Chain A
Amino acid sequence: MMRHRVLGRLILITFLCLGSTFARSETELRFCLRTEPKNLNPLLVSNDAEETIRYLTGGVLVRVNRQTQQLEPELAESWNVSKDGRQITFKLRQGIAFSDGTPFSAADVAYTVQQLMDPALHSATGDAFRSGAGTVSTKILASNHLAITFPAPVAGLDRLFDQVAILSSQSPKKEGAVLGPFVVAEYKPGASVLLKRNPNYWKKDSRSRRLPYLDSIRLDIQPNRDIELLHFKRGELDLINSLDSEYFDRLASTSPNLVHDAGPSLDSEQMWFNEVGNAPIPAYKRTWFRSTDFRRAIAQAINREDLSRVVFNGHAEPAIGPVSPANKFWFNDKLNPYPYDPEGALKKLQLVGFRLENGVLRDRDGNKVEFSIVTNAGNRYRERMAVMIQQDLQKVGIKVSVVTLDFPSLIERITQSFNYEAAILGLTNVDLDPNGQMNVWLSSAENHQWNPAQKSPETVWEAEIDRLMRAQASSIDPRKRKESFDRVQAIVMEQAPFIYLVNRNALSAISTSLHGASPVVLRPQTYWNADQLTLSAESGRGR
């Protein structure tokens, strides 16, 4: 009897061990994509889901380390940018193969660049390299050495290659052959994308074990954040890459060890006034909106600390300027944020002819100071910020109407009819380099929201910003570029065309069974080192 018991226990232990072994051999990371990937071609990435798949599958020549924000070699052992900023040469690693076994060489890089720069492809990634008229030429110097020449200098040229996944020039699988840690194994539209471990991935760990550690990644397509959170709480997902402050706190209240606040992200929320010359708004209002003193007084009357604390439950920081402190290199740390000072704001307004009568602010001509703020319906954070700003400005006698509009109506008003007075929206920054913001700061740009597509700069300070932005874009000296962009930030701070409200924190949730994750503020916040992530045995798919 006793022997049977012992035997029974032994069998049980054996099964448990085998079970855990099988679980370990089937490590699958699961998380959600919030949008449908429309295209799996890494050169045609246009949304977050496609960006995620490119990041996890694409092999790149150089990679921006999301933690240090420094550029590191990947498929390229080394690289060199010419003094005139028009040419970059890469020395490639040897002995690397694509996921289907075809060898990697300089010909593949040349092929990728040709594809990328083909105007017929309409690649947004390729557009970042277009600095002037003319063609981009590639010259293969050896099987592992090539030079790429651009028609005009490209600022921050080497960092742009972080976004370029190398394609195979020989593989019949085309973009199906990859150099990244994972390869797309299955795509079920509307349901999921399954990525399997790339057996030929070139990276190895310190013990010469081939990376990645994970066998697969399942990306569930789930736009509903409530359902995503529910699945995470049930243990059906291993991470939530980006979490709202409300969900963060809800999760933190029950499982504080699962949530991570990496501090201010690159994303900002801002308010601006409509300064378009022919906008269908009363002329006296346009005069206020075009007054620097008026805009600065408004900036001073808004309590950003309260916005961060109340609206984002403390998971945001009062914004200082156009660049978040999260952007370590480009942030101008000499800028001082506008202090919350309603009395000071009122004094500033009185100095330029406004007057407070029975709690109502009036301009020089006796017009009541009142305006509407539009924002997109359904975004509770922006709606709450607008309502709080409404109360803040009431203290200086300004009446604000908050109007929430469906997104298409809002976009139509702020980009075409210009039939609005002030707006609150956010900017999602994915690029550290100021070149990514050219479409905002140039007065001729369509996204120069307060007064877009100007034929020539309408103010002296906008002309100065144009000059500085062009100067930094045409220089390859990082120090000179920084000087120019610091000045742009200072001008924006002084003139307040955008009143920056908050920088949201990068919030994420990570299961305790996922090891090696170190959340950062740059995207992708949680799986930037996906090839080094591991899942503990108990988190195998058998959950």
Chain B
Amino acid sequence: MVQKLACAFLLMIGMVCLFADQLAPAGYAKQFRESPNAAPSRKHLLGTDDIGRDRFSRALYGTRISLLLAPAAALLSTLLAALIGGVAGYLGGFWARCAMGFTDLFLSLPWLFLLIMVRGFLPLDVSPVLSVLATFSLLGLLGWAAAARILCAGATTIRNSDFLLQARASGLRRVRLFVFHVLPNLKPILYAQFWISIPVFILSEANLGILGLGVAEPMPSWGSLLRELEGMLSFAEAPWKLVPLVLLILVVSSFELILTKQEFAT
């Protein structure tokens, strides 16, 4: 029941975001300079931000960006994890030790500082859309290590299984073995890792956004929307500013609940 509710909620949020262009009363970048920091009204359902941009519109577009790109980054990181962890586990021996050593090295790096550093090297003259893609691609490219370890362990188990021994004995080549026998058996782990990664990347982008290093202005994301809570001393001050936070909590919780269902299935 809870899983169904979570699915329904995510579906609803997804639909709302897809139709953001139709639902948003104003563009996310439009500045109503005559009414900055306005309280909710009929014109601005969630008020306006510090420079007069409609907060409701920005929440819609921001949710769309975070919800579309976090799964894309999760897919990228899961694929990388499958490639590195899966192949290492399947090959075993020296290659597995090398790959896992590299993975451990990657895991030991402080990812936030790594992201900040890598971001510092990116070209400056890029459009906001490209900056969004760059941010999430970075998250995807840097977030594969933990999943790779799990996949390596899974692939090692499969490598030592009887059915793979039989397949090898029947003369199947390594690549074919990996593609047709190992990877399909890793699917439940890949699936779980994919779902685990989505909320992780949503939160990572939010973290970067809070530091002002996420998606470039004027494009909104949950991270940049959450920055408004910085310095808020009481919830009663402007409760409508909490909407992105509530959305984030609900969405991340929903993903976690769906994941539980997947885990049960596996």
Pick from A247, A383, A406: contact of B217, CB under 8 Å: A383
B171 within 8 A of A: no
- Which residue of B is nearest A224, CB measured? B231
- Which residue of B is nearest A384, CB measured? B51
Q: Enumerate chain B residues within 8 angstroms of A230, measured Cβ to Cβ.
A: 233
B253 within 8 A of A: no
B33 within 8 A of A: yes
> Is there an interface contact between A391 and B233, defined as CB atoms closer than 8 Å?
no
Q: Please report the total number of B residues contacting A with Cβ < 8 Å.
A: 29
Q: Is the interface of B mostly helix, strand, loop or mixed?
A: loop
Contact code string B190-227 (vs A, CB < 8 Å = 1, else 0): 00000000000000000000011100111000000001
Pick from A246, A391, A403: contact of B124, CB under 8 Å: A403
Q: Enumerate chain B residues within 8 angstroms of A378, measured Cβ to Cβ.
A: 211-212
Contacts known (A371-B125, A403-B216, A409-B120); A246 close to B231, Cβ less than 8 A: yes
Pick from A250, A387, A420: contact of B51, CB under 8 Å: A387
> Is there an interface contact between A405 and B120, defined as CB atoms closer than 8 Å?
yes
> Is there an interface contact between B29 and A391, defined as CB atoms closer than 8 Å?
yes
- Which residue of A is nearest B124, CB measured? A372
B127 within 8 A of A: yes
> Is there an interface contact between B216 and A401, defined as CB atoms closer than 8 Å?
yes
A240 within 8 A of B: no
- Give the complex CA separation of A309 and B51 in angstroms: 10
- Give the complex CA separation of A310 and B211 in angstroms: 22
Number of A-B contacts (CB under 8 A): 86
Contact code string B107-133 (vs A, CB < 8 Å = 1, else 0): 000000000110110001111100100
Q: Which of A393-440 contact B (CB under 8 A)?
A: 401-406, 408-409, 412, 419-421
- Give the complex CA separation of A379 and B217 in angstroms: 13
> Is there an interface contact between B212 and A226, defined as CB atoms closer than 8 Å?
no
- Chain B nearest CB, measured from A91 CB (Å): 51
Pick from A384, A404, A419: contact of B213, CB under 8 Å: A404
Q: Enumerate chain A residues within 8 angstroms of B29, measured Cβ to Cβ.
A: 391
Contacts known (A226-B233, A387-B51, A405-B120); A372 close to B213, Cβ less than 8 A: no
Contact code string A42-53 (vs B, CB < 8 Å = 1, else 0): 000000000000
- Give the complex CA separation of A412 and B116 in angstroms: 14
B263 within 8 A of A: no
Q: Enumerate chain B residues within 8 angstroms of A391, measured Cβ to Cβ.
A: 29, 31, 218
- Chain B nearest CB, measured from A387 CB (Å): 5
Q: Enumerate chain A residues within 8 angstroms of B124, measured Cβ to Cβ.
A: 372, 374, 401, 403, 419-421
Q: Enumerate chain B residues within 8 angstroms of A421, measured Cβ to Cβ.
A: 124-125
Q: Please report the total number of A residues contacting B with Cβ < 8 Å.
A: 39
Q: Is the interface of A mostly helix, strand, loop or mixed?
A: helix
A388 within 8 A of B: yes
A38 within 8 A of B: no
- Give the complex CA separation of A384 and B119 in angstroms: 20
A7 within 8 A of B: no
Q: Which of B74-130 contact A (CB under 8 A)?
A: 116-117, 119-120, 124-128
> Is there an interface contact between A226 and B231, defined as CB atoms closer than 8 Å?
yes
> Is there an interface contact between B233 and A386, defined as CB atoms closer than 8 Å?
no
> Is there an interface contact between B50 and A380, defined as CB atoms closer than 8 Å?
yes
B40 within 8 A of A: no
> Is there an interface contact between A310 and B33, defined as CB atoms closer than 8 Å?
yes
B52 within 8 A of A: yes
Contact code string A227-252 (vs B, CB < 8 Å = 1, else 0): 00110000000000000001100100
Q: Enumerate chain A residues within 8 angstroms of B33, measured Cβ to Cβ.
A: 306, 309-310, 388
- Give the complex CA separation of A408 and B120 in angstroms: 9
- Chain B nearest CB, measured from A283 CB (Å): 15
Q: List 25 A-B contacts (CB under 8 A).
A: A226-B231, A226-B233, A310-B36, A313-B36, A372-B125, A372-B126, A377-B212, A378-B212, A379-B212, A380-B227, A384-B51, A386-B217, A390-B217, A390-B218, A391-B29, A401-B126, A401-B128, A401-B131, A403-B131, A404-B212, A404-B213, A404-B217, A405-B119, A406-B211, A421-B125
Binding site for A on B (CB under 8 A): 29, 31, 33, 36-37, 50-52, 116-117, 119-120, 124-128, 131, 211-213, 216-218, 227, 230-231, 233, 237
Additional A-B contacts beyond A246-B231, A377-B212, A391-B31 (17; CB < 8 A): A230-B233, A310-B52, A313-B36, A374-B124, A377-B213, A384-B50, A387-B51, A387-B217, A387-B218, A388-B31, A401-B216, A403-B124, A403-B216, A404-B212, A404-B216, A408-B120, A412-B120
